[in-house]
Amino acid sequence: MTASTHAQELAQIAARAADSKQAENLVALDVSGPLPLTDVFLLASGRNERNVVAIAEEIQDRLAEAGAKVIRREGLAEGRWVLLDFGDIVVHVFHEEDRMYYSLERLWKDCPVVPLVVEAASEM
C-alpha cells in the first residue's frame, strides 16, 4: 500500500512549516502498509523545548489553513515530544535528545521514505 496523495501533500505543508521554524532532520515515512490508521509519519527535531513547541504550533497552524484539523495533540506542555495526529498524517516533533533515544526511524526502518521538498520555505 502507498500513502495517499492527500497525506503526501499534508506532509509537504507540515515539513515546510517545520523548516520555517528551524526544525532539523525532517523525515517522512510511509507507514500506510503496517498501520491502517494513518499514511505518513513526519518526524522533526527541535534544539530545545521552546523550539519544539514553536515547530509544533506552526505545523498545526499551517495544516489548519490547508483544511486539516488536529484530532489529537499530546506533549505540547512539556515540549520534549509533541505528537500531532491529523488522521492522514501523524507529526512527531522531538527534542533532539529524545529523538535519538526513541529512534522512531529505526523502529519503522522497513517503511519507505516520502521525499520532502522544503527549499521553498528556506527562501522566504
Each residue's pLDDT tens digit, 4-31:
999 999 999 999 999 999 999 999 999 9
Rounded to an integer, the average pLDDT of 42-55 is 98
The answer to the question of residue 121 being in a domain is no
What gap in Å lies between CA 107 and CA 69, rounded to an integer?
27
Residue 58: per-residue pLDDT: 98
C-alpha cell recorded at residue 81:
515530544
CATH of the domain at 60: 3.30.460.10
Residue 43: per-residue pLDDT: 98
The answer to the question of residue 118 being in a domain is no
- Decide if pLDDT at 117 tops 80: yes
Classify residue 4 as exposed, middle or buried by CB count within 10 Å of its CB (0-12, 13-18, 19+). Answer: middle
- ∠ CA 90-47-27, nearest 5°, is 35
The answer to the question of residue 123 being in a domain is no
Residue 15: per-residue pLDDT: 98
Percent of the chain with pLDDT over 90: 90
Q: How confident is the model at residue 119 (pLDDT cuts 50, 70, 90)?
A: confident
The answer to the question of residue 122 being in a domain is no
Number of domains in the chain: 1
| CA 64 distance to own-chain centroid | 14
Q: How confident is the model at residue 123 (pLDDT cuts 50, 70, 90)?
A: very low
- Decide if pLDDT at 97 tops 50: yes
The answer to the question of residue 21 being in a domain is yes
3-state secondary structure 81-120: EEEEECCCEEEEEEEHHHHHHHCHHHHCCCCCEECCCCHH
Residue 54: DSSP 8-state: H
Residue 84, strand partner residues: 73, 91
What gap in Å lies between CA 108 and CA 121, rounded to an integer?
27
Range of the domain at 91: 5-113
Residue 1: per-residue pLDDT: 62
Residue 124: per-residue pLDDT: 42
